[in-house]
Amino acid sequence: MDFVKDLISIRDLEKKHIDMILKKSSEMEQALKQGKQLTSLKGDVVATLFFEPSTRTRLSFQTAAMRLGAKVLSFENVGASSIVKGETFSDTIRMVDGYADIIVVRHAKEGSARYAAQLAEHPVINGGDGGNQHPTQTLLDLYTIKRAKRKIEGLNVTLLGDLKHARTMRSLLYGLSMYGANVTLVSPKGLEMNKEIINEARARFGARVEEKSKMDLSDADVLYLCRIQKERFSDQYEAEKVQKEFRITEDTIKGVKDDLIIMHPLPKIDEVAPEVDRSKYAYYYEQAKMGIPVRMAIMDAMVV
């Protein structure tokens, strides 16, 4: 089955595409555990263009590319590039398109990845465009959930935190809805998820979505929280206030299901107490590891 040429939004994928990536991700994970040498990208160059800071996404893409035999062309220090001389984003993309076989782009401006895909002849993968989309994070989140719970359909998933600014949550709601999960959105007033995104999920997939302003984790199978993105706030005092109100502590997780898993796209600041990191519920470090086999699966599918 053919995969998409460019991966810009989770909306670009049908369920059959995601099923393929989840299956291929499991195969990649097993191959890594067995120490197999994979060569589907041997001779190829993967360019990672990160105009915005990143740790996990950038490093996992680079590691995934090398695990498949590719060479990596890394771009993460804008200050050392021709951009400081006035080179435009479009010229940078066209230039790199002549050097690489796959281009991974992260940029603060929404729509930048799709624009890059329009300019480039080679496949483009969105590594996050502002507060818009982060499709590869969603794919690794879905893989993590299915790996831990053996299914996605019918699970009670709570998305908690700043749902207004978090691109991860937008993409994940769409993916969870496609698979028939029951989703509860919990956010502070003023930081609710965009209604258009919720309505689209309901219209396309009959999504079961409930919105709340108070935490109740007693029925949750999965708790997925995100940090309060202070860098996207004009009022830093407001951001710090919200961080404290929606913090996960030892008391917060009293009475939860015994097999609850807590996920987080990372980085986390102080929205999770240290004692929670040490609890059996913390699953975000395992989640972060899944970035490698999933991104291997995505790039492998794009070059087949």
- Which sequence positions are flagged as catalytic? 56-57, 85, 106, 134
Within 10 angstroms of residue 291's Cβ, the number of other Cβ atoms is 25
Contacts of 106 (CB under 8 A, 6+ apart): 49, 50, 51, 52, 54, 57, 58, 126, 127, 128, 129
How far is it, in rounded angstroms, from Cα 237 to Cα 240?
5
Burial class (CB in 10 A: 0-12, 13-18, 19+), 119: middle
How far is it, in rounded angstroms, from Cα 149 to Cα 279?
18
Kindly give the interhelix angle for 56-67 and 135-149, rounded to the nearest 10 degrees.
80
How far is it, in rounded angstroms, from Cα 150 to Cα 3?
24
How far is it, in rounded angstroms, from Cα 14 to Cα 63?
27
